A and B are shown apart, each in its own frame.
Chain A
Amino acid sequence: MRKVAVVGVGQTVFSGAQSRSNTELFSEAAMEALNEANLKNKDVQALLVGTVLTDFEECQQIANTYISENLGLPHVPTNTYDGACASSSVAIIDAFIWIASGMYDIVLVGGMEKVASMGTHLATQTYTMYADRYYDYPSGITFPGMFAMLANLYAKKYNIPIEILKEQMALISVKAHKFGALNPKAHLQRELTVEKVFRSPMVCQPLNVYDCCPFSDGGAAIVMTSEDIARKLTDKPVFITGFGQASAGTFVSQQEYLPHFITRQISSAKAYKMAGIKPLDIDVCELHDSFSISEILAVEGLGFFDYGTGGAASARGETIHGGKVVINPSGGLKAKGHPVGATGAAQVYEIFRQLRGESGATQVDNARIGLTDAMGASGNINCNIVLERGW
């Protein structure tokens, strides 16, 4: 198996509803990534695109083929990946296997979405379609509703008064916005206060609007290649040294593990083992903070903190610079934004910049090992990717 590197990354500014098409959003990110990698469109041998709702967003299917045409890729094979919020992470893992096997040398991977362009009601409806259509959906459950139920379950299980948990969750949103305000590509570049979180409208008890990530438009892309080519292209290749992926079904079928997720447990364990690292070897992590409670579940599920202690650890400052591990310096889904298909690639974008020391105000000192964590729906899919400096 060949080693696989990331040699260029690109991301659009994540935003609210905007006029550019999904093809244009992806292409902007792709050109940035190709330029950074010192590659031309003709060098690309395959295009793997994570995206989930182009049909609802703009009455468009197989957008990946129009992206390929738009970018002038030479009739390369191209696939679309639907892994819900983990779509481009799934695509990146597939690209790894394609390159590691020796079948392909240079693969362009990423994702895009125009969720904000759908408006809140249609977007909420389409997200609900990721619940089981026959056994969950008829109850009127929503995507945030699933995580609201996990927050209540978590509070009960770990005997944390809901008022305390709500404050811990609000502080996570405050932290995300603090980082987001420093990220010129973030959707929400403004700071937040606990009071503002509490005053924002209730979405589903106990989650207020500012406990939830926004609906965003945007694209992200990366260029992946083999070690030998990477070393010719750049002095600073970033290697993918481990990954894991796992799946589960209905929310209720995960009852044995909830409020934590068996898929994250399996996926991260595989990624750590493959990379030969332990959780606390990680300097910087971009994880799935779709909701404030999601980050608490993730920092515990990934092994950074014991179960039931993640909220308190975050409140103590353990997840920012100077703490145990820096979590979501990009602002995460919460503040950077969450154009679903783009999110997994955008996580790699941030880790790549951090490992190269190019993250400006949010740079983690001497970051050598980074992790991404992407979850599709409510534990249905989990992908973890370990990235390390190649120099």
Chain B
Amino acid sequence: MGDKLGVKEYRLALRENKLQGLKCKACGFVTAPPRLACRHCGATDSEIVQLSGKGKIATFTSIFIPPESHRGQTPYLVVVVELAEGPWIMGNIQGADPNKATLDLIGKSVHMDNNLIPDDKKPPEDISPMFVLDS
């Protein structure tokens, strides 16, 4: 069943710089973030797969007015990355200036590197994929 990759397992993997998804046993489509049903065909039999964490920026924004959870951290970039395996993932990016972000960012190649966040800075629960521009 698809729910073997739950929120807890997904986050624990992210903390170890691993991005996981679910590959549908019926149609082969990769669903990430994990969902019980395949996003493409709706089948509920899937297996956990390791994703490359590589992809291209699909879109982005720089946040200047944050929610309470991110006060004091502005401005910061939020990106949506189209992974090499297909799915879009929301996360953050380091190495790009949120004050100077332009549409040129879209299409740029990135890879995930959650090791960039020191362990003592990682919140106990909430963790988001951190991407870096490919050099």
A247 to B70, CA, bound (A): 29
Are A152 and B59 interface neighbours, CB within 8 A? yes
A205's closest neighbor in chain B, by CB? B62
Query: Which residue, A121, A135, A139, has most C-beta atoms of chain B within 10 A?
Result: A139
In chain A, positions 228-260 with a C-beta closer than 8 Å to chain B are 249-253, 255, 258
Q: Would you call A252 and B61 a contact (CB within 8 A)?
A: no
**Assuming A145-B78, A255-B82, is B62 touching A124 (CB within 8 A)?**
no
Check if A152 sits within 8 Å of B60, measured CB to CB.
yes
Residue A141 contacts which of B39, B58, B78, B87 (CB distance < 8 angstroms)?
B78
Given contacts A135-B90, A140-B67, A156-B106, contact A253 B62 (CB under 8 A): no
Q: Across the interface, which residues of A come within 8 angstroms of B65, CB to CB?
A: 120, 124, 142, 144, 201, 203-204
**B61 touching A149, Cβ below 8 Å:** yes
What separation, in Å, do the CA atoms of A251 and B59 have in the docked complex? 12
Asked if residues B62 and A252 are in contact (CB atoms below 8 Å), the reply is: no
Q: Is A85 an interface residue (CB 8 A)?
A: no
Which residues of the other chain, B, contact A252 by a CB distance below 8 angstroms? 33, 80, 87-90
Q: Does A377 contact B (CB under 8 A)?
A: no
Contact B59 A142 (CB under 8 A): no
**Pairwise interchain contact B64-A250, C-beta atoms closer than 8 A:** no
Residue contact B90 to A141, C-beta cutoff 8 Å: yes
User: A125 contacts which chain B residues (CB < 8 A)?
Assistant: 67-69
Question: Is there contact, CB below 8 Å, between B33 and A142?
Answer: no
For window 111-138 of A, CB contacts with B under 8 Å fall at 120-122, 124-125, 128, 132, 134-138
- What 1/0 flags go to A190-230 for Cβ under 8 Å of B? 00000000000111111000000000000000000000000
For the complex, is A62 an interface residue (Cβ under 8 Å from B)? no
Q: Which residues of chain B are within 8 angstroms of A250 by Cβ–Cβ distance?
A: 33, 90
Closest to A208 in B: B64
Interface residue count on the B side (C-beta < 8 Å): 41
- Chain A residue contacts of B59, Cβ below 8 A: 149-150, 152-153, 156, 258
Given known contacts A121-B71, A153-B106, A139 and B61 CB-to-CB distance under 8 angstroms: no
Known contacts A138-B127, A152-B103; is-contact A145 B58 (Cβ 8 Å)? no
Number of interface residues of A (CB under 8 A): 39
- Residues from chain B with a CB closer than 8 A to the CB of A141 are 63, 78, 90
- The answer, yes or no, to whether A155 is at the interface (CB within 8 Å) is yes
CB of B34 to closest CB in A, whole Å: 9
Chain B 38-71 against A: per-residue CB contact (8 Å), 1 yes, 0 no? 0100000000000000000011111111111111
Known contacts A120-B65, A140-B63, A250-B90; can you find 11 more A-B pairs with CB under 8 A?
Answer: A121-B71, A136-B90, A139-B128, A142-B65, A152-B60, A152-B103, A153-B106, A204-B63, A205-B61, A205-B64, A252-B87
- The residues of A with any CB-CB pair to B shorter than 8 Å are 120-122, 124-125, 128, 132, 134-142, 144-145, 148-150, 152-153, 155-156, 162, 201-206, 249-253, 255, 258
Residues of chain B having any CB pair with chain A under 8 Å: 7, 10-11, 33, 35, 39, 58-71, 73, 76, 78, 80, 82, 87-92, 98, 101-103, 106-107, 123, 126-128
5 A-B residue contacts at CB 8 Å?
A134-B10, A140-B69, A140-B70, A140-B92, A149-B80
| CB-CB nearest 10 A-B residue pairs | A148-B61, A252-B88, A135-B33, A138-B128, A138-B126, A140-B70, A153-B59, A128-B67, A255-B88, A139-B128
